[in-house]
Amino acid sequence: MLSWTHPGDAFVLMLAFDQPVGVPPEYADLLPLPWSEIESRVRKGELVEAQGKARNRTVIILAAPTSGQLDDLVRRTHLLDVFRTDAPEEGKTPAGDQGAGGGALVDPGHPDTAAPLPAPIGPRPAGLGCTLS
């Protein structure tokens, strides 16, 4: 899962609990909060957003009871602000994907690429690093 990332990269874990979710034990050290806390809070209906450092990477976790709530959280969390850029026109990301607007996600660690990543859209948002859901 991390083989294509590099030290200093951001890695985003997005979890929607209306789908089977879990974090394999070999990746538990990536979580900025203990899994038991994440699971407990989401099962109570809370949204979870946290950031930490692990394996020389910035790790962001976004978790929600449903895919729809996760999609909303991805669009409004301030933890992803550094990756956002304005979309060229309302409802489209630079890659041309349909969505609710609000921009695209870019990798600030690789500014020379100038290729924004599409903003997460739909029930299973795409992650900068990985989606576990």
Q: In this structure, is residue 23 part of a structural domain?
A: yes
Look at residue 123 and tell me whether its pLDDT is greater than 50. Answer: no
Look at residue 61 and tell me whether its pLDDT is greater than 90. Answer: yes
Query: Cβ distance 84 to 64 under 8 Å?
Result: no
Q: Report residue 115's pLDDT band, with 50, 70 and 90 as the boundaries.
A: very low
Give the Cα separation of 77 and 58 in Å (integer). Answer: 16
Q: In this structure, is residue 1 part of a structural domain?
A: no
Mean pLDDT for the stretch of residues 15-41: 92
Q: In this structure, is residue 4 part of a structural domain?
A: no
Q: Report residue 66's pLDDT band, with 50, 70 and 90 as the boundaries.
A: very high
Range of 79's domain?
A: 10-131
- Total domains, the chain: 1
Q: In this structure, is residue 5 part of a structural domain?
A: no
Helix extents (H) in 63-128: 67-76
Q: In this structure, is residue 24 part of a structural domain?
A: yes
Mean pLDDT for the stretch of residues 17-41: 91
